[in-house]
Structure 1
Amino acid sequence: MPLFQNAVFSTTVADLRNLPNDSRCEIAFAGRSNAGKSSAINTLANHCRLAFVSKTPGRTQHLNYFQLAEGKYFVDLPGYGFAKAPEEIRGQWEGLLAPYLRCREALRGLVLIMDSRHPLTELDLQMIGWFAPTGKPIHVLLTKADKLTRQQQALTVREVQEALSSMTGNCTLQLFSSLQKSGVREAEAVLGEWLDLPTRQDRPPPSGLASEKAARPKKRNAIGWSARHAGGGARGR
């Protein structure tokens, strides 16, 4: 039975004052709007429509809570890279996300969704650089891995490992495919430990980080999560 089989929608939060009071452990899911974030949550929960998969980037505008067990939640964050969203709406989202990710005590770690065909965009790097100073772990899901050949998969994992090792030592990563439902056990092993949930013992560990440092990857153009938040995080280190 999948570890997160019992996940159910709990609440939508538009104001930090309305965060669940009973929460003891939360895992936040972040990523570009078209990277497969909702599909990844659905796959982990073995539920085809738990998190809404939209064809319109930026549809998720609030913090959507999914209860896994008593006091334990997945939190679906607004996707970044939402170019079509008005500046005022983007500002509201950032005002919600920034204090949540930096100050929420119940938050145990961040799952960062990256399209394995286009990883490490400028906004992915901003998110990592901004969240890493919290000291909480980051687990990267390289989604849509079925779109790559095995050789391409291995090359992508190696390049992302090397890039992340130059930014933080508290990060793991793995390949993931919602279409093929591959990588679920590896993700369960990491997230189950964060949430202190019992896990099966027959699953392989996720990839770690390479020890050698790599040159900063080429930035990709993107619109959304403001660079000023990344800068603010760096100054606070």
Structure 2
Amino acid sequence: MKIKTAEFVISNSKVDHCPNSTLPEYAFIGRSNVGKSSLINMLTGRKSLAKTSAKPGKTQLINHFLINNNWHLVDLPGYGYAQVSKSTKKVFQKFITAYFKKREQMICAFVLIDSRHKPQPIDMEFMQWLGEHNIPFCIIFTKADKLKPKILDKNIENYKNEMLESWVEMPEYFITSATSKLGQDDILDYIEGINNSI
């Protein structure tokens, strides 16, 4: 898939205010500072479609972007260590949960995982929650360029082994780098394949 157009549509904190559209949606979510905004900009070929920041927790709303006029990319707030108040975190959790439970247009969630780190409980718990609620998801390992190939392979293998302790099979996963554009074609082709089958 080639991204010809990528346009910001709306930001909000209420699922009821999301676009009144039947277009398929693909949600991107991950722990704070996992490189989500950089990945979204890399996928769309836009330098500043999603706002990047060295300070975790930059994304604080449900952000919809219209891609090629036929699907929505949804940028969701990071979870975990965002530098926001406890009350704000509760709001995040509430509308993120509502989005996944209520938004029928949501076809697949892409859960971003920092490939440099061992499996984190908060990521495992979130994916477990998605599974328990029958919400389709894939894993995107980010920042692959920060590791030597052998270490990257070892980290991915360790992650797979831990996942398979509680999952029957490993979810679909992609290895990416926002710097080298590794994984760009694979993810976009995956989305295109789903769109063509709907």
Q: Is the 8 A contact 2:12 2:62 kept in 1?
A: yes
Shift of 1:192: 2.0
Answering whether residue 23 of structure 2 is matched by residue 24 of structure 1, we say: yes
Give the match's secondary structure for 1:40.
helix
Q: Report the residue type matching 1:106 in the other structure.
A: Q
TM-score by length of 1: 0.77
Q: 2:5 corresponds to which residue? A: 6
* Structure 1: distance between partners of 2:42 and 2:84: 27
* Structure 1: distance between partners of 2:70 and 2:132: 26
Q: 1:213 corresponds to which residue? A: none
Q: 1:101 corresponds to which residue? A: 100
Deviation readout 1:51-83 (Å, 9 max, x if unpaired): 000122112111000101335101000011234
* Structure 1: distance between partners of 2:141 and 2:194: 19
| Aligned ranges 1:1-237 → 2 under 5 Å | 3-165=2-164, 166-167=166-167, 169=169, 171-196=171-196
Q: What is the number of residues matched between the two proteins? A: 196
Give the match's secondary structure for 2:53.
coil
Give the match's secondary structure for 2:27.
strand
Shift of 1:130: 0.4
Give the match's secondary structure for 2:161.
helix
Q: Report the residue type matching 1:196 in the other structure.
A: N
* Structure 2: distance between partners of 1:145 and 1:158: 14
* Structure 2: distance between partners of 1:31 and 1:5: 26
Deviation readout 1:96-149 (Å, 9 max, x if unpaired): 011111221110011011110014211111110001133343221111101111
TM-score by length of 2: 0.91
RMSD (CA atoms): 1.8
Deviation readout 1:147-203 (Å, 9 max, x if unpaired): 111111211222222222333537111210011111111112222223338xxxxxx
Give the match's secondary structure for 2:160.
helix
Q: Is the 8 A contact 1:64 1:75 kept in 2?
A: yes
* Structure 1: distance between partners of 2:119 and 2:179: 22
Identical aligned pairs, as a percentage?
Answer: 28
Give the match's secondary structure for 1:44.
helix
Structure 1, unaligned stretches of length 5 or more?
A: 198-237
CA 1:169–1:99: 2 relative to 1, 3 Å: farther
Q: Is the 8 A contact 1:136 1:170 kept in 2?
A: no
Q: Is the 8 A contact 2:51 2:58 kept in 1?
A: no
Q: Report the residue type matching 1:96 in the other structure.
A: F
